Homo-oligomer: A and B are copies of this chain.
Amino acid sequence: MEGSAPRRTRIQQEKRELILEAALEVFSTNGFRGSTIDQIAEAAGMSKPNLLYYFRRKEDIHETLMERLLATWLAPLRELDDIGDPLTELRSYIRRKLEMARDFPRESRLFANEILQGAPRIMPLLEGELKTLVDEKAAVIKGWMRAGKIARTDPWHLIFSIWATTQHYSDFDVQVRAVLGPNRGGDGRFEDAARFLEQLFIDGLKPKN
């Protein structure tokens, strides 16, 4: 484990932030191999050698981006808590996930790109941290089912389907907008999606009888 973070000047902090912002834009639309250092440098408004002064390798930028991403990306699931009404908890989890798809589509696409290509850089995290977290939350959900608070299903696949449906609105956004057309595909599409997903998941999970 790397211990202390390297000491950084004010300029270094600012420029590194600038580069990461630019890299997020470029990586999320072109993938890792599809993106060039020149593109990122131009998007960040600096020369390539200048960029390489702050990040020695292209991979370092991607890695830094990935580490930050995962923390914020899993935050909503971490908040899913045993205290409070189960259906309310699930409802707000879905809502938060959909809000992230709306507000941070680039982060979602960056993640999707990585997974699509076999997760070469974050496989250990998936099998470790992510699996642990999901197993833990699946146990919470299972508890709700045993207590008769929500209908019985597979908690893991329930979580997968929440991920899939919400992230669909960022990862496949162009398709969604193309199919919905100019009218229904406008800014209101996220509210329509929210209503639909609430009905699908929450109504579907209400305990039977």
Q: Which residues of A contact B (CB under 8 A)?
A: 29-34, 109, 112-113, 115-119, 123, 126-127, 130-131, 134, 153-154, 156-158, 160-161, 163-165, 167-169, 171-172, 174-176, 178-181, 184, 192-193, 195-197, 199-201, 203-204
Of A158, A180, A184, most buried by chain B (CB within 10 Å of CB) is A180
The distance in angstroms between the C-alpha atoms of A134 and B185, with both chains bound, is 14
Kindly list chain B residues whose C-beta atoms are within 8 Å of the C-beta of A193. Answer: 157, 160
- Closest Cβ of chain B: how far from A92's Cβ, in Å? 19
User: A112-B116, A160-B176 known; A153 and B200 CB under 8 Å?
Assistant: yes
| Chain A to chain B: the 4 pairs with minimum beta-carbon distance, closest first | A33-B34, A164-B168, A204-B204, A126-B178
Kindly list chain B residues whose C-beta atoms are within 8 Å of the C-beta of A160. Answer: 165, 168-169, 172, 176, 179, 193
Of A116, A161, A180, most buried by chain B (CB within 10 Å of CB) is A116
Would A172 and B34 count as touching, CB distance under 8 A?
no
CB-contact partner of A157 in B109, B127, B178, B192, under 8 A: B192
- Closest Cβ of chain B: how far from A8's Cβ, in Å? 32
Would B31 and A179 count as touching, CB distance under 8 A?
no
Would B117 and A154 count as touching, CB distance under 8 A?
no
CB-contact partner of A156 in B174, B180, B204, under 8 A: B180
For A155, give the chain B residue with the smallest CB separation: B196
- Closest Cβ of chain B: how far from A101's Cβ, in Å? 11
CB-contact partner of A30 in B117, B131, B169, under 8 A: B117
For A108, give the chain B residue with the smallest CB separation: B116
- Closest Cβ of chain B: how far from A119's Cβ, in Å? 5
- Closest Cβ of chain B: how far from A60's Cβ, in Å? 19
User: A126-B178, A154-B195 known; A29 and B117 CB under 8 Å?
Assistant: yes
Kindly list chain B residues whose C-beta atoms are within 8 Å of the C-beta of A200. Answer: 153, 158, 161, 200-201, 204
CB-contact partner of A34 in B112, B117, B171, B196, under 8 A: B117
Other than the known A131-B181, A156-B184, what 18 A-B pairs have Cβ atoms closer than 8 Å?
A: A29-B117, A30-B33, A33-B33, A33-B34, A112-B116, A115-B175, A118-B174, A119-B178, A126-B174, A126-B175, A126-B178, A126-B179, A130-B179, A153-B199, A156-B179, A160-B172, A160-B176, A200-B201
